[in-house]
């Protein structure tokens, strides 16, 4: 400690303490110049010698350095993979303001779908599914039915429409209406007491129709036509009225009553086209005689009609019970 004090001491300091104020101006200048020169050359002034071995080490050293750079490399590759995945998603889904088949319009609160879209469930607050002017909206189910329902605040399904291969069922509604999109006029409504075809519509194509009464306008014909078969059934009976009723079929016409009778009546009689009714021979004598009349018979319980020739000038009684019902002539088989 004394050595450090002696190294810091200077002759100027001793002489100044002994009487620096009494020296002449020339000696003061020389003494001051010597003091400044010695002070500028003393680079160790104010420093304390330090040994590096005893200082605490700071920063990342050894294993910590390897762990740090390993983490940096992992984060770099993770960010690079995330960037590549983002570009792949943008390229595959064609993301922009929407997607290739989807566009978002926040200003109009609309979501526009282009082409075919495969969705499981769709929830709409306002309940509107609208299409473009030149392309209608088509909703189809893949081997399943399509269900459109209204869910209330408690989560219960009240009004709903179910569309499947067997038909369309509308339940839980007071009335159902179909409007023309161009004019807004109702085309069909269950609130009508009588449903008439709109103007310009001449045909109504349905598979099954449940109704109480079907009628046509005055001086207009009502035509029922089917490519395969047509069936008219009434739970309490079926009644047909008209100026003229014509039934025609390529094969058979069946009239059946479960609990009652089948009644055919007309003001001017009933006419049958006998050309399609088969002829069953009534006996040997009838085969060799000129025939101008036929007796109409009915197969029971099938109800199929057939004719039995009645010979002229003969005394033999011909009835439906004594006809030739051999396998090659039996009309009921």
Tokens representing 143?
A: 């081997």
* Ranges under pLDDT 70 in the chain: 1-23, 32-62, 93-100, 155-157, 192-196, 198, 282-292, 313-316
Q: pLDDT, tens digit, for every residue of 123-153?
A: 887 778 887 777 778 888 888 888 888 877 7
Residue 14 phi, psi dihedral angles, 5° rounding: -70, -40
Peptide bond into 327 cis (omega under 30): no
Q: pLDDT, tens digit, for every residue of 206-235?
A: 788 788 888 887 888 888 888 888 888 888
| Residues in CB range of 82: below 8 A, 6 or more apart | none
pLDDT at residue 48, as a whole number: 58
Burial of 318 (0-12, 13-18, 19+ CB in 10 A): buried
pLDDT at residue 97, as a whole number: 58
pLDDT at residue 225, as a whole number: 87
Model pTM score: 0.38
What's the rounded Cα separation, in Å, for the pair 105 and 110?
Answer: 5
pLDDT at residue 82, as a whole number: 95
Any idea where the domains of the chain sit in the sequence? 2-49, 252-333
pLDDT at residue 8, as a whole number: 44
pLDDT at residue 249, as a whole number: 82
């Amino acid at each position: 400690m004394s050595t450090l004090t002696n190294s810091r001491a200077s002759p100027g300091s001793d002489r100044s303490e002994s009487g620096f104020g009494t020296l002449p101006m020339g000696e003061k200048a020389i003494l001051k110049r010597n003091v400044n020169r010695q002070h500028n050359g003393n680079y160790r002034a104010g420093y304390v010698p330090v040994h590096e071995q005893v200082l605490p080490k700071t920063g990342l050293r050894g294993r910590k350095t390897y762990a740090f750079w390993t983490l940096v490399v992992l984060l770099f590759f993770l960010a690079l993979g995330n960037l590549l995945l983002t570009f792949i998603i943008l390229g595959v889904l064609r993301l922009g303001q929407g997607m290739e088949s989807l566009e978002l319009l926040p200003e109009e609160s609309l979501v526009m779908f282009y082409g075919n879209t495969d969705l499981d469930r769709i929830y709409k607050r306002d309940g509107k599914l609208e299409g473009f002017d030149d392309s209608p909206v088509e909703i189809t189910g893949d081997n399943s039915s399509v269900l459109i329902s209204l869910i209330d605040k408690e989560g219960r399904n009240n009004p709903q429409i179910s569309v499947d291969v067997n038909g369309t069922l509308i339940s839980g509604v007071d009335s159902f209406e179909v409007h023309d999109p161009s004019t807004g006029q109702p085309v069909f409504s269950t609130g009508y007491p009588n449903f008439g075809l709109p103007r310009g519509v001449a045909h109504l194509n349905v598979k099954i129709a449940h109704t109480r009464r079907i009628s046509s306008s005055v001086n207009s014909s009502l035509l029922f036509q089917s490519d395969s078969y047509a069936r008219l059934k009434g739970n309490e009976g079926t009644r047909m009225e008209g100026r003229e009723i014509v039934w025609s079929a390529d094969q058979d016409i069946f009239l059946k009553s479960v609990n009652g009778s089948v009644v055919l009546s007309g003001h001017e009689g009933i006419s049958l086209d006998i050309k399609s009714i088969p002829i069953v021979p009534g006996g040997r004598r009838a085969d060799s005689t000129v025939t101008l009349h036929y007796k109409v018979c009915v197969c029971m319980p099938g109800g199929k009609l057939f004719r039995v020739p009645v010979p002229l000038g003969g005394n033999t009684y011909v009835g439906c019970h004594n006809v030739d019902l051999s396998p090659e002539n039996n009309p009921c088989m």
